[in-house]
């Protein structure tokens, strides 16, 4: 019942993701959330560390598409700095934007991972689209009002996952 809410992997940050493990799983494509996944909420542009991480992804042969519920302007300003496509107004967790990302990447779901910081938008949407899902710890406590409310439910849900694991 809850399987679409349980991430395949949980890490502290994007920098902890084992890229070799993803490659071994046949994952060559990444769909990545922006706010509180790559940079803190309201941070307009990628920092040097984030830009270098994207360069490493590209050097390792990953194709990348950003995905965000934020505005076109926000996504475009960010994606232009790292040279990847992006989708704004994604309406996550609906599947449409994830399918659009797969089309942009010319990818199959089983070759693609979603990286995000929210269970009820990123992870649920990625699972509904058939993607491998990676949950990262949010980078900032400052967030959109609705997101703050959802975080309470997420904390409870994550605690249950930790307690019961696969038995949940």
Confidence band, pLDDT 50/70/90 cuts, at residue 168: very low
Confidence band, pLDDT 50/70/90 cuts, at residue 57: very high
- Please tell me the predicted confidence (pLDDT) of residue 139: 81
* The 86-87 sheet, strands edge to edge: 9-11, 132-136, 112-116, 29-33, 63-67, 86-87
Instruction: Give the residue, 45 or 44, on which the prediction is more confident.
Output: 45
pLDDT at 140 over 90: no
Domains in the chain: boundaries: 3-167
- Please tell me the predicted confidence (pLDDT) of residue 44: 85
Which residue's structure tokens are 């696969």?
A: 166
- Please tell me the predicted confidence (pLDDT) of residue 97: 95
CA 85 distance to own-chain centroid: 14
User: Cα separations (Å) of 88 from 13, 66, 76?
Assistant: 22, 8, 8
Q: Which of 135, 138, 157 is nearest to 147 (CA)?
A: 138
Q: Are 64 and 29 in contact (CB under 8 A)?
A: yes
- Please tell me the predicted confidence (pLDDT) of residue 111: 98
- Please tell me the predicted confidence (pLDDT) of residue 164: 58
Record the pTM.
Answer: 0.86
Confidence band, pLDDT 50/70/90 cuts, at residue 167: very low
- Please tell me the predicted confidence (pLDDT) of residue 23: 97
- Please tell me the predicted confidence (pLDDT) of residue 72: 95
pLDDT at 75 over 80: yes
Q: What is the CATH number of domain 3-167?
A: 3.40.50.1000
């Amino acid at each position: 019942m809850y399987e679409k809410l349980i991430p395949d992997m949980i890490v502290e940050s994007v920098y902890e993701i084992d890229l070799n493990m993803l490659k071994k799983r046949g994952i060559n494509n990444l769909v990545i959330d922006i706010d509180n996944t790559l940079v803190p909420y309201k941070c307009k542009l990628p920092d040097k560390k984030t830009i270098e991480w994207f360069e490493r992804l590209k050097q390792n042969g990953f194709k990348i598409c950003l995905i965000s519920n934020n505005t076109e302007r926000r996504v475009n300003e960010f994606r232009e700095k790292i040279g990847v496509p992006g989708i704004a107004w994604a309406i996550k967790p609906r599947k449409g934007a994830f399918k659009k990302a797969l089309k942009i990447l010319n990818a199959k779901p089983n070759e693609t991972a979603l990286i995000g910081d929210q269970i009820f938008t990123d992870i649920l949407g990625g699972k509904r689209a058939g993607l491998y899902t990676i949950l990262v710890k949010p980078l900032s406590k400052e967030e959109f009002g609705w997101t703050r409310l959802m975080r309470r439910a997420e904390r409870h849900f994550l605690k249950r996952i930790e307690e019961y694991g696969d038995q949940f």
